[in-house]
Amino acid sequence: MRKYLSRRFFSQSNVMGEQRRPISGSVVPILVPAIIAGIGLAGFAIDFSRISNSRAHLQAALDAAALAAARARGSDEAELEVLSRPYADANLVNSGDLVLSSFDVNLLNSNTTVEVRASLIVPLAFGGLIGRSSVEIDGRSLTRIEIRPTRVSLVLDNTGSTNNNGAIQGIRDAARVLVDTLLEDAGDDDDVLVGIVPYVTSVNIRNEEFDMAWMDVNGLSASHGIAFDESAGPVNHFDLFDALGSIDQRAGWKGCVEARAAPFDVTAEPPSPGNPNTLFVPYFWPDEPDAPHSLNTNSQWRNPTSNNLRANYANDFFDLGASNTLDGGFARNGWLQGPGAAIQNQRQAILRDASRYINPANQAQIAATLRIDDDPRSNPLPAIIGYPISISDAHTLGPNQSCPTPITPMTDDLDRLRTEISGMIGWNGSGTNSAIGMNWGWMQLTPQAPFPVPPPRNSDNELQRIMVLMTDGANVAVSAVTPNISQYSGYGYVDQGRLGTTNINQTVTRLDNLLLQMCTSAKNDGIVIYTVTFAASSTLQNIYRQCATTPTHFFNAPNAATLVDVFGQIAREISDLRLAG
């Protein structure tokens, strides 16, 4: 019985509770090979899985190498192999003990396609069962060097604060790196154009593509002339510029425009003569009241104790009154004094009187006293006011005060772009208005006027539109201790209410909201937006992060050197977007 049991196996019971018949012990010799075979199959499955994963790693490595080679177009095959091999190796670093056994780069189809071929040694865990310790797999990647037609608008802060901390030179260097990266090695078939929108409180649109048809030449816009007393009829800024320009051409209209009447100030709606509010109003900063010395006898002239005794107007550029009158002296941004509200009302009456400019009887006196300066680097103010000022304090003077250099139209002329970038300077006065800069960057990337974006050279290709919006400071309307509440800006004086408030403390929020509204609209229009802040507060960084296409499209540069690196990274990302693999 004991011998019998040693050769039989019993189950306890079957599903019916009955004892099963014994199973013959002859199965054991059959199970042993089956177990060995099972182990072999499991090992084969493990190795097969590793081979499959290795193929995926190899393909990713070859794709990265092919894209790198495609970016370096213009090089020969040997150079491309040296340039692209590190990208393949880098993609295999975290893939265990995988090693490339071969790597080759070829240019095909008249150098319009990059082919990368490589082989990979894959160690086998159970290869000994079949007499092999490894297997070699092959891979191939093709990348067509097709450059997507691309339009880039650089919207760059040129306000006076950029004269500090090396910001303006950092902006020049950074913009130069970006245009060089995009255009320096561009081929004849590339379709890449870059435009530049310098902004301060306004934007200068008077370049070679400018069309007077965009302008409110008849003075019919709801926002045209509202800084002046229009009780005797509408005031047209062009009439004022014409009168001053006939005396000194620098006092004629330079080309800056104000924000359009709402709601068109936050849209890319093309200008239409049928709706004057869609047309653009020339930016005109009025001649502001004077401060004759005989009225400044108070010992507290620089810091009066009563607001009724002071006013800091910032743009006195001609005199019509006799000496020692409110229209007969000069003090730029000095504290003006007088006996209370009566003097204040007289000052405002002078500021709001448009007839002063166009009355023929005034022309000789204007010509004799006109003070126009349009270059803060050669500012005459120290000689006028009797004490030195630094470049960070220098202001231009006249109806075009704080009006920067014109927009550079979309171009692939690298020399011109470099020249325009080198010529950028910081313009003091009025404050920062990135909302109006954003508006013109957006309009530079739309197919309609003004500045319709050039279409792709090949109509079969989809146009890629990109904006880079940069600032070194928060939106701000510079306050003034006058009934105007602020200095003049692209939205006029704050007391006019064009920002939806007459409270200077609310203007930052209003301008930020206008900016974000346009960011959303431009993104919905298909524009990719990169945003960059320079040494900015966390609050400003959050605003620009919201404006960007995604949070990864936002950058903060704490210093000028980092700003250059940031623009270089953006340029490389744009180049990557341009490659169609």
Selecting from 3.30.40, 3.40.50, 1.10.760, 2.50.20, what CATH number does the domain 150-169+185-285+399-475+519-562 have?
3.40.50
State how far the Cα of 354 lies from the Cα of 11, in Å rounded to an integer: 113
State how far the Cα of 371 lies from the Cα of 147, in Å rounded to an integer: 51
Bond into 282 cis (ω within 30): no
State how far the Cα of 284 lies from the Cα of 251, in Å rounded to an integer: 10
Contacts of 9 (CB under 8 A, 6+ apart): 22, 23, 25
State how far the Cα of 493 lies from the Cα of 391, in Å rounded to an integer: 25
Domain 26-144 indexed as CATH 3.30.1300: yes
Which single residue is written with the structure tokens 């709801």?
222
β-strands 134-144, 113-123 pairing: antiparallel
Per the CB < 8 A criterion, the answer to whether 457 and 287 are in contact is no
Per-residue tokens: 259:
């924000």
Query: Following DSSP, what letter does each residue of 90-115 receive, concatenated?
Result: HTTTTSSS-EEEEEEEEEETTTTEEE
Per the CB < 8 A criterion, the answer to whether 179 and 575 are in contact is no
Identify the burial level of 504 via C-beta atoms within 10 angstroms of its C-beta, where 0-12 means exposed, 13-18 middle and 19 or more buried: middle
pLDDT digit string (tens) for the chain, length 581 residues: 333 333 333 333 343 344 444 444 555 555 545 554 455 555 566 766 778 888 888 888 898 888 888 877 667 888 899 988 999 888 887 666 777 889 999 988 877 788 999 998 888 766 555 557 778 889 999 887 666 899 999 999 999 888 888 889 999 999 999 999 899 867 666 789 999 999 999 999 999 999 999 999 999 999 999 999 999 899 999 999 999 999 999 999 999 999 999 999 999 999 999 999 999 999 999 999 875 444 444 433 334 444 445 567 888 899 998 776 778 766 544 555 555 677 778 889 999 999 999 999 999 999 999 988 887 666 544 444 444 444 445 578 899 999 999 999 999 999 999 999 999 999 988 889 999 999 999 999 999 999 999 999 876 778 999 999 999 999 989 888 888 999 999 999 999 999 999 999 999 999 999 999 999 999 999 999 999 999 999 999 999 999 999 999 999 999 999 999 999 999 988 877 665 54
328-358 per-residue burial string, b: 16 or more CB within 10 A, e: under 16: bbbbbbbbbbbeeeebbeebbebbbbbebbe
Q: Domain-by-domain residue ranges, the chain? A: 26-144, 150-169+185-285+399-475+519-562, 293-381
Per the CB < 8 A criterion, the answer to whether 313 and 347 are in contact is yes
Per-residue tokens: 75:
């090089």
State how far the Cα of 446 lies from the Cα of 268, in Å rounded to an integer: 8
Per the CB < 8 A criterion, the answer to whether 463 and 578 are in contact is no
- Amino acid of residue 64: A
